[in-house]
Structure 1
Amino acid sequence: MNQPIKILLYYIMLLFAAQIICPIQGALAQQATIQGDFADPSIIRVGNTYYATGTSSEWAPHYPIFTSTNLNDWNQIGYVFDKTPEWISGSFWAPEYFYNNNTYYVYYTARRKKDGISCIGVATSKYPDRGFIDHGVIIEWGNEAIDAFVYNDNGQLYITWKAYGLAGKPIEILGSKLSADGLKLVGESFMLLRDDERIGLEGQSILKKDDYYYLFTSVGDCCGRGCSYRVRVARAKSITGPYELYKDNPLLSGDDEWKCTGHGTFVTSPEGKYYYLYHAYSKTTGVYTGRQGLVTELVWPEKNNWPKFVALPKPVAKDVTIKDNFNGNTADKAWQWDFRNAWPVIKQHGGQLHLSGMVKDGNASGIALTRRPYTVNYSMQVSVVNTNRAQKGLIIYGDANGSIGVGVTNNTVEFWEVKDNKRNVISSATAAARKVDVKIVVNPDFTCHAYWKQSGDWKELTGDMPRTIDNLTPWDRSPRPGLNFSGPATSEAVFDDFTLTYHP
């Protein structure tokens, strides 16, 4: 082979390789629309403003509320429940926004305290982002009633839900008429769809377009490392059915960057376009960032044709730095805690955050005041201002029996971990009795490093082996970074200048 041909073949091979590699690199540079641990999202539009809420599981306050004017840039502005309703023990799942008769509704799933059964409750407000009043249980159905969705069919309200998920028989999506005030069921229930394949069926939503009602559902396993979620569609001439499944399902099942897509709801733009806000896991960060919020467009090619989703450009990932200087007298809305295992007292004044409170017996991790994780490549640091015998510092919190952190106790700085509810000090150093800066760095390989300083350069606290956050992933949520306090209720941690930097 002569030299010019060899050179030509060489450049052809380079071009071919670039075509293979570049799309993968581009996909890995995508980020979610609503980043970090925002499962089962629901969305409405009020004028030109969109509001979204999603599952909060065991984090309090419950059901975060985000707002946007363009479906791309979202800001958190509050919660549906700042305090836990008295009847609920946990599992705050799948909130559903609805608007009717000048009233905003959130239909939601939660576990009932008296018997541990998941029921559907409802709360109302005159505003989409605050002031929700709980009305308690609206649906209890055997061993489980979850995933409410409400539809207004020419003035008649209907509510649908998932039933029989724990009954040892095929799951059914059931429906019923609702009273005009949206607070109680009316008449007999009916079945819209049944999971005869026994693959999982939930997260339904309904649209009416031309001559058909379209029923969108999520099938497969929703959560965790073995998830298999995807979106199907069926349609009927009546809201009560019978529904015909689309032969080319699934309609949405992920792409090069995202997997386990599903459990969303629709909203129309001021221009009349249909958009679907749903959740998915990143194929890069997986369970460590949880199910994140994404948006796609729904179109019908022709009248009475089956619909299809059209992918929208996702935001390009970039460094994000969150600084909290604790200004003002109210803590930032993004902070949450595990309300089953800790009861924090949070005070903010003078540019400092004061954290104290009580924990459940056996909680070796202490109080974790956390934020939703965006990536698994980040660093966070904070100044611990006061000196006492309580543990004060930073934490990556999976659950009360699984966490890792760095903090100050008296004049000792400790890199520590909790496994199986037992606390172990990995490494320690002696500090002077004054302000201590502490830092945690998490790398893309999930390894975790701890540092401290009082002046000069950072000093690493090293252990006998590398530590990772790999064991800190509860089934339905991700491990979270944040502040930590563990000590007597009469004591406190005082923090200054918190910084959290995410890298794509």
Structure 2
Amino acid sequence: MARRWRSLAALAIALASLSLGLAACGGGADDEAGGGTGTSGATYANPIIAGQQPDPTIVREGRDFLLSTTSRAWAPIFPLFHSRDLVNWERIGALLPRAPAWSAAPYWAPELTRFRGEPRAYYTARLRRDRSRACIGVATARRAAGPYRDLGRPLTCPPSGAIDPFVIDDEHGNPYLIYRRYRDGGGIWARALRADGLAVRGREHLLLPVTPADEGVVEGPELLRRDGRFVLLFAAGGCCRPPCDYREAAARADRLLGPYERAPRLVLRDGPALRCNGHGTTVGDGRGRRWLVHHGVLADDPVNVRRSTLLEPLRWDAGGWPVAGEDGRAVQRAAAPLGVAQGPPAPATPDLTTPRLDPAWEWPWDRPARAVQRDGRIELRGEPAGAVLARQVLPAADQRAQVTVQRNDCAAGIAGVEGGQDSGVAHGIELLPGGRGVRVWQGPTGGGAGRTLATAEVAKAADPPELAVLIADSHTIRFAVNGTPLPITATTSDNQRAIRVGLTCRGPRASGAAFGALAITP
């Protein structure tokens, strides 16, 4: 698998100088007027952002493209990526550095847009005082790259729940919020917005009901304007548990509130190497073409662990319906619109010589990691429940992560962290404070000491001692101390796999640890 990913990275080519062609409130404009894909014969390869990066959303500001994805139970909330060519992406931060006071995890389906020219991020979260309630929030910014400031209250929090927001003007220029109703039959609904887009008004309107063919789900709406009609893109089927059967579909209407006619064919279905594709958002390339950014999983992923961000060419058939990929099948490789080369992915190992933490570090949404980086090491403050500073690792058959513990007032270590929907489980090894012993443990990343799987003494003290986890196929985890393997193997659950590596520090708040010589290698 690692060889295939290296091949993808080598063959992938970037897209450059592209534009969204957005309408005033985030709806697509009629900008698919023709144009070519470049003459260099270059190609790009999917995924454009590998890892667990579902529900992508994108906006353009000048020459810059900003893309964000679902973060579920991890913070900073909604990772933010930057590109100038739509294929080479750099993680630069997040939309929300911390959880708004009214909200709780999971955080998913952000929607970057412009409302009357102002950058906005509409998103889904739970209501903190009633975590059974799915709500839509909104944050504003002066620049699409942020910083974003949350409204301080949910935009809407109906009893039936509301998720997957999208904002667009109707045929009269009135703004509407489009969303999936979470319960009570589901379906895609619309509700009018106040003129400033910061409050809902009026009653709900059903745009698209769920049919038996949808297998209980229609979600991830985006609306485009084309030839005087509203074209609704949406996902149907199961996205997130095996066996997944997600796919992208379309419907259209003369008026925003319908009635909607469904397309006779899917917009996007499985391809030879990529499956369960959907929850798309579109972007114009400035040469008259539009592309679909969406998520999907590798065909050889048995448990749908990583929903990566993918890119497909989008065209319109003779009947005026959108078709993505290669005649409706997700592509592994396609012609690059502008023929700009895609570089290799960022290295898994962060640079510890810089004065700031790498933006790819994450932590549990309700337990911010108190960490700094200086003098070539990371200092992590302790928490009784366990501080966790984690980062995703790229798909590979095997991963090795090792780190030296330069100071440990707390129980300090390294762990493989499983990637559940809303919470994960960690399997780690930690150096006990004040002694030469190590502890292998298993427990929730959300807090708690977990249970001890094994203990061992460090036969010969190293200066500083080195701890390592070895993750095979994201499924089995082994442990080593100072290069010596321990005779114990941990196995992840069937519906979760270890897709993050985390530094851990369990102890009083006044305690802490210092880590150096971190290396993450496939």
Aligning the two structures, in what range does the TM-score lie when normalised by the shorter sequence? 0.7 to 0.9
Matched, 1:130 2:139: no
Say if 1:27 and 1:257, in contact at 8 Å, map to a contact too: no
C-alpha spacing 1:401/1:128, structure 2 compared with 1 (3 Å): closer
Quick one: distance in 2 between partners of 1:252 and 1:413?
54
1:288 CA displacement = 6.9
List per-residue Cα deviations over 1:186-240 (Å, max 9, x = no partner).
Answer: 4333111001325211111111111422111111122122322111111112221
Structure 2: runs of 5+ lacking an equivalent: 12-44, 335-341
Alpha-carbon distance between aligned partners in 2 of 1:36 and 1:186, rounded to the nearest angstrom = 38
Matching of residues 11-90 of structure 1 within 5 Å: 32-90=47-105
**Counterpart contact for 1:403–1:472, Cα < 8 Å:** no
Task: Output the aligned Cα RMSD.
Answer: 2.9
Partner of 1:346: 371
- 2:168 — aligned with what? 151
Q: Is the 8 A contact 2:439 2:454 kept in 1?
A: yes
Aligned residues: 460
- Note closer, same or farther for the CA distance 1:439–1:486 as it changes in structure 2 (3 Å cut): same
| Amino acid across the alignment from 1:391 | A
Counterpart amino acid of residue 423 in structure 1: R
Task: Tell me which of 390, 414, 433 is aligned to 2:438.
Answer: 414
Greater shift after overlay, 493-502 or 34-43?
Answer: 493-502
How far, CA to CA, are the matches of 2:308 and 2:438 in structure 1? 33
**Does residue 225 of the first structure (1) align with residue 242 of the second (2)?**
yes
2:395 counterpart residue number: 375
Task: Provide the residue aligned with 2:516 in structure 1.
Answer: 496
* 1:297 correspondence with 2:319: no
Give the Cα separation in 2 of the matches to 1:489 and 1:171: 44
SS of residue in 1 equivalent to 2:369? strand
Alpha carbons 2:297, 2:304 under 8 Å: kept: no
Amino acid aligned to 2:407: N
State the match for 1:264 in structure 2. 280
1:132-159 deviations in Å (ceiling 9; x for gaps): 1111211122231111011234643221
SS at match of 1:321: coil
Look up the match of 1:195. Answer: 210
CA separation of 1:225/1:343 partners in 2, compared to 1, >3 Å: closer, same or farther?
Answer: same
Equivalent in 493, 496, 512 of residue 473 of structure 1: 496
1:485 correspondence with 2:502:
no
Structure 2 CA distance for partners of 1:470 and 1:333, relative to 1, 3 Å: same
Q: Residue 391 in 1 paired to residue 411 in 2?
A: yes
* Counterpart-to-counterpart distance in 2, 1:130 and 1:286: 37
Of 257, 272, 295, the residue aligned with 1:240 is: 257
**1: CA distance, partners of 2:274 / 2:303:** 12
| 1:334 CA drift (Å) | 0.6
In 1: Cα distance, 2:501 partner to 2:294 partner: 24
Q: Does 1:405 align with 2:438?
A: no
The match for 2:356 is 330
Cα 1:419/1:90, change in 2 over 3 Å: closer
Instruction: State, as a whole percentage, how many aligned pairs show the same letter.
Output: 26
**Residue 294 of structure 2: which of 249, 256, 278 is its match?**
278
The aligned counterpart of 1:13 is: none
Q: Which moved more, 1:79-88 or 1:480-489?
A: 480-489
1:212 counterpart (229, 249, 261): 229
Distance 1:401 1:268 in 2: 37
Q: Is the 8 A contact 1:325 1:497 kept in 2?
A: no
Q: C-alpha displacement at 1:500, in angstroms?
A: 1.5
Q: Does 1:443 align with 2:472?
A: yes
Asked if structure 2 preserves the Cα contact closer than 8 Å seen for 1:343 and 1:358, the reply is no
Which consecutive residues of structure 1, in runs of 5 or more, have no partner in the other structure?
1-22, 361-365
Q: 3-state SS of the aligned residue for 1:40?
A: coil
Question: In structure 1, how many angstroms separate the alpha carbons of the residues matched to 2:79 and 2:508?
Answer: 30
The structure with the largest alpha-carbon Rg is 1
1:386 partner SS: strand
Q: CA deviation at 1:63?
A: 0.5
Residue 173 of structure 1 and its aligned partner are, at CA, apart by: 0.9
In structure 1, give the amino acid aligned to 2:129: K
Bigger CA drift: 99-108 or 342-351?
Answer: 342-351
**Aligned residue for 1:119?**
135
Higher relative contact order (CA 8 A, sep 6+): 2
